[in-house]
Amino acid sequence: MEHINYKEIVDNSHNGACVLDLERTIVYWNQGAERISGYTAAEVLGRHCYNLLVHVDSEGRAMCGDDSCPAARSMRQDEPCEMEVYLLHREGYRVPVVSRTRPVKDANGVTTGAVEIFNENSRELAALERVKELEKLSLLDELTGLGNRRHAEMHLQSRLDQLARYDWPFGLLYFDIDLFKQVNDTYGHDAGDRVLKVVAQTAQAGVRSFDLVSRWGGEEFTAIVENTNGPVLLAVAEKLRRLVENSPVALGGDAIVTTVSVGATLGVPCDSIESLVKRADELMYKCKERGRNRVTLG
């Protein structure tokens, strides 16, 4: 059989591939990993994964401790591990990936490290298609890549019509970035734009694939959450809030920790777009009064 260069195949794979030693130092990083994370091999080789990639779970909890890290678990328990996690991109936003980790052994069967293969969740592909559609219809917010206010209003009216006609439930999250003016005043408007992008991308990654995040205006965003009830809406809002809180924006030697306040409410048959948004907005301001970085359901 003709010799096959397996390393070249892995080097050029579309999926991310990473090899760690027992100390979780990165010793291999392929082109797929560069594409998904934004980090080049030169930037990561020789560094510990827990000081760089900082995975979090679907609840926004850090997974870099010995008990929660998939690679550490694979090496310790000598078994494969597959999880849905959120990788911290070089630009500061969260990327949802499916991570598959397994131990690496030497010729004597002794564990010497772990290999992780990861790729984007299918929602990323759906998001790219959504962006293309929005560009065609002039419904795209150019800075964040989300739908704009007009886009959100169109979908809100559609959901209200479906609620009235078919009793299909939905909820609205209305959230804005806490102390955003301080970011602009301290670091400048370019930094403020980066924060807006990171929050937008992290929020989009944090909701379900069929939910819709839009930029309402300024530092304010909405998320239309479909087929929901109070507890589910609250869980989606809390997940979004935690993911944003755990996605600091790197700026020079500083890391800007960003939080959001979220008003969450269910649509009711007598609602208009104006009444629904007003109710969610008032709930969001209750979060501000109570100290920010929280969710209020009403």
Catalytic residue among 116, 120, 219, 220: 219
Looking at residues 142-158, what average pLDDT do you find? Answer: 93
List pLDDT tens digits, range 71-104.
Answer: 888 898 888 888 888 888 888 888 888 889 999 9
Give the closest residue to 255 by CA, choosing from 183, 176, 181, 177: 183
Cα 205 from Cα 154, distance rounded (Å): 22
* 219 catalytic per annotation: yes
The structural domains of the chain, with segments of one domain joined by +, span 6-120, 123-297
pLDDT of residue 90: 86
Cα maximum dimension of the chain:
71
Confidence band (pLDDT; 50, 70, 90) for 1?
very low
Per DSSP, the residues of 218-241 read TTEEEEEEES--HHHHHHHHHHHH
- Is this model's pTM higher than 0.75 or not? no
CATH code assigned to 6-120 = 3.30.450.20
3-14 pLDDT per residue, tens: 556 677 777 788
pLDDT tens digit sequence for 109-127: 899 999 999 888 766 556 6
pLDDT more than 70, % of the chain: 92
If you average pLDDT over residues 65-69, what whole number do you get? 74
Task: Identify the CA nearest to 20 among candidates 62, 67, 69, 92.
Answer: 69
CA gap 236, 234 in Å, rounded: 6
The larger pLDDT score, comparing residue 3 to residue 224, is at: 224
CATH class held by domain 123-297: alpha beta
Q: pLDDT tens-digit profile of 126-147?
A: 666 677 676 666 788 989 989 9
Domains 6-120 and 123-297 belong to one CATH topology: no
244-289 pLDDT per residue, tens: 999 988 887 788 899 999 999 999 999 999 999 999 999 999 999 9
Which residues have C-beta within 8 Å of that of residue 128, sequence separation ≥ 6? none
SS3 assignment, position 70 = helix
